[in-house]
Structure 1
Amino acid sequence: MKKSKRSIFTTIGLSAVLLLGACSGEESSAEDKEYNLKMSVTVSDSSTWYEAAEKLKKDLEEETDGRINLELYANEQLSGGDSGKAVEGLSKGTIDLTFNSTIIYSILDDRFGVASAPFLFNNLDEVDKVFNGDGGEQLKEVLSEKGVQALGFGENGFRQLTNSVREVKGPEDIKGLKLRIPGITMYTDLYRELGTDPVTMTFSEVFTALQQGTIDGQENPIDVIYSSKLNEVQDYMTMWNYSYDPLVLGMNKKLYDSLSDSDKELFDRLGKEAAAYQVEQAREKAATQIEELKASGMQLYEPTEEELAAFKESVQPLYDKYKDIWGAELLEAFQKR
């Protein structure tokens, strides 16, 4: 009888060892899972956005010995040139990662527009304080609700105005201009408030539209204006810093949640580093890009404090309309200094 019991215990012990071994094998295979991921970048491969994506790709490959491969697609190739479809694809999981502006995310939820509210920030120090604080955390929560894991915040920079008709110094000069804007309601309302004729179109169509005179101008940060060579089809630029444009290095949340803990840590760390690298590169290059745009013949104008005050006054009704849309708590987090 004793011998029988020992046999039973031996069998149980052996089964436990086999079971632990099997579990260990499953865990090991999860850790070693290979990934071939696709990442969409809105602008060209000469931009700081793409440089940061290349850094992420390289770092992932090096740290995993090629186990995680990231294929990069510039100019929204994965979404037919449509940034809106890119963030929708990211949210649904048909695209794995993207580098997109929060302005484009406004297609998914109007709350994203708060980050680019007109004349919200006076300088980059205020920007950094907000995005490294409560504002950034609340934005990540909204992204998570939409199926996106934010790995880091990049910087498209302050958006500037270009056109080929006249120099814009104050509110009177901008009236009547036909301007391309991103396809979100906030910007449409904003530019109508300024008395312009706003036109929405995907960015991939902008250069040709400017070249053909279909539109008079557009608005974008320096890096986009420079890397897209808009100076070839635009004569004037107003440096009014009217709207800050943050970027989200985003990953589909279901994909992120399916990763092993070690791979989550890897994407968190390398994503944050890639986004910080993009911000650093964008800020370093901005001064040089501005000088090169001037050298190309583009006329740049910096409005006075009085002219900026006039612009701010003219867009105040937008805040009255959007405070409830953005949410008082979220707006307050972005207004904290």
Structure 2
Amino acid sequence: MNVTLKQPGFKPSRVKSLLAAAVITAGALCAAGSASAATIRLSTTVSDSSNWVKAANKFKELVEERSGAKHKVEVYANGTLVSGNDRVELEMAQAGAIDIIMKSTPWLSQLNPDFVVVSMPWIFPDTDAAMAVMDGPVGDKLSAKLESQGIRTLAWGSGSFFQLYTNPGPIETVDDISGVKIRTPGLELYLDSWSAIGSVPVAMSFAEVFTALQAGAIDGGISPIPLIYSSRFYEVSKNIAMVNYSFEAIGMLASNVFWSRLSAEDQTLVGQAAKDAMIYQREVAASEEADLAKVMEEAGVKIHTPSAEALAGFKAKVAPVYATFKEKVGAELVSEVEAQVQALN
């Protein structure tokens, strides 16, 4: 399956220059030996107020405390190490210039298309089911796919479900979204789904979304409630439809270059800190859903949950896309997830 993530503004020359620096940095770190593990650099492109960064800070706290301050963790939010470019962040981690990154499963499908299975529309009924799948055999299989790409999974967290935020609204039925320009992550599945629904999907780097909303270049987008809030999209888009379109898991991921420098003892320490931090992240994400929705409503945002009948209209439009991507991703893998979800129910 050929999965394309479309990110406008991507410049190969920019990647080359950053990766050149990455190679130099990685070489220096490797030459330094195990002592180089004393400072761990963790990068993410999301806002420093997001629950992703709360998890990163919890990881920092745990590593520094459990190592007796032998190890230090530096957390870089807002894409400060990579000029907000998700693709560059991935490639710098692969090269060893960044030790740990946090990436959503839609972006990880760039490294391996099997990750698209997590994004299949309405494949999960709720967060508990999604995380049970990521903690089980399917999650293990997906993690194994990253190993050959220079990335090691430390732990999974919850990115929550994608909801629809728009300037026009409220979006009560599938007809209401016709012609509305919405930003989606540049995953072919998302672009095809929202095109089938009748909107005009636009692939755009996450860091560009707020400005595009202000300028009217887009009319809205899809993101989980915590990211809609932490990225301040609600300040411009005053309507949210709770459609639970697609789930994303969040990986705390280590560069293989970094991981290979750690002693077995430090690998255990770092790995357990990551698991504990992402369990904390799941708890924060769950509590934020209702709390942040209420905060946004108090700020004038209208939050609407489409009726079961109306939501069925969305699903009917997407059904042919789902069937196509089930074959593209691999019917066996998608069926495995469907069967596990059914067993949980």
Q: Is TM-score (shorter-chain normalized) higher than 0.5? A: yes
Q: Report the TM-score when normalising by structure 2.
A: 0.85
Separation of aligned partners in 2, 1:134 and 1:62: 32
Structure 2 residue aligned with 1:197:
200
Q: Deviations over 1:258-311 (max 9, x none)?
A: 321111111211110011110111111221101111111101110111112121
Deviation at 1:37, TM superposition (A): 2.2
1:51 aligned onto 2:54:
yes
Structure 2 residue aligned with 1:164:
167
Separation of aligned partners in 1, 2:209 and 2:201: 13
Deviation at 1:63, TM superposition (A): 1.7
**Where does 1:73-84 land on structure 2 (aligned, <5 Å)?**
73-84=76-87
Q: Equivalent pairs: percent with the same residue?
A: 35
Separation of aligned partners in 2, 1:308 and 1:327: 26
Structure 1 residue aligned with 2:288:
285
1:326 aligned onto 2:329:
yes
Separation of aligned partners in 2, 1:180 and 1:268: 34
Contact 2:157 2:279 in 1 (8 A): yes
Separation of aligned partners in 2, 1:164 and 1:69: 43
Deviation at 1:188, TM superposition (A): 1.4
Please state whether the residue corresponding to 1:43 is helix, strand or coil: coil
Separation of aligned partners in 1, 2:224 and 2:157: 13
Please state whether the residue corresponding to 1:152 is helix, strand or coil: strand
**Where does 1:217-232 land on structure 2 (aligned, <5 Å)?**
217-232=220-235
Given residue 315 of structure 1, which amino acid in structure 2 is its aligned partner?
V
Contact 1:164 1:233 in 2 (8 A): yes
Contact 2:43 2:79 in 1 (8 A): yes
Deviation at 1:121, TM superposition (A): 0.9
Contact 1:34 1:67 in 2 (8 A): no
Separation of aligned partners in 2, 1:208 and 1:258: 40
Structure 2 residue aligned with 1:94:
97
Structure 1 residue aligned with 2:118:
115
Q: Deviations over 1:37-96 (max 9, x none)?
A: 211122111111111101111211122233222211111111111122212222232221
Q: Among 105, 112, 124, which residue is 2:127 paired with?
A: 124
Structure 2 residue aligned with 1:216:
219
Separation of aligned partners in 1, 2:251 and 2:128: 19
Given residue 62 of structure 1, which amino acid in structure 2 is its aligned partner?
E
Please state whether the residue corresponding to 1:149 is helix, strand or coil: strand
Please state whether the residue corresponding to 1:192 is helix, strand or coil: helix
Separation of aligned partners in 2, 1:184 and 1:128: 21
Relative to 1, partners in 2 of residues 1:175 and 1:80: Cα closer, same or farther, differing over 3 Å?
Answer: same
Please state whether the residue corresponding to 2:186 is helix, strand or coil: coil
Given residue 235 of structure 2, which amino acid in structure 1 is its aligned partner?
E
Please state whether the residue corresponding to 2:163 is helix, strand or coil: strand
Please state whether the residue corresponding to 1:240 is helix, strand or coil: coil
Deviation at 1:324, TM superposition (A): 3.2
Given residue 310 of structure 2, which amino acid in structure 1 is its aligned partner?
E
Structure 1 residue aligned with 2:7:
none
Q: Deviations over 1:141-187 (max 9, x none)?
A: 12223221111101110110011012212221112111111122221
Structure 1 residue aligned with 2:210:
207
Separation of aligned partners in 1, 2:145 and 2:192: 23
Contact 2:153 2:251 in 1 (8 A): yes
Given residue 142 of structure 2, which amino acid in structure 1 is its aligned partner?
L
Larger Rg: 1
CA RMSD of aligned residues (A): 1.7
Figure out how many residues of one structure are paired with residues of the other and give that number: 309
Unmatched runs of 5 consecutive residues or more in structure 2: 1-31
Please state whether the residue corresponding to 1:79 is helix, strand or coil: coil
Structure 1 residue aligned with 2:310:
307
Q: Deviations over 1:220-271 (max 9, x none)?
A: 0010011112111011100011101110000012321332111111121111
Unmatched runs of 5 consecutive residues or more in structure 1: 1-28
Deviation at 1:31, TM superposition (A): 7.1
Please state whether the residue corresponding to 2:183 is helix, strand or coil: strand
Contact 2:127 2:158 in 1 (8 A): no
Given residue 50 of structure 2, which amino acid in structure 1 is its aligned partner?
S
Given residue 251 of structure 1, which amino acid in structure 2 is its aligned partner?
A
1:261 aligned onto 2:264:
yes
Please state whether the residue corresponding to 2:53 is helix, strand or coil: helix
Contact 1:191 1:198 in 2 (8 A): yes
Deviation at 1:194, TM superposition (A): 1.4
Q: Report the TM-score when normalising by structure 1.
A: 0.87
Deviation at 1:30, TM superposition (A): 7.5
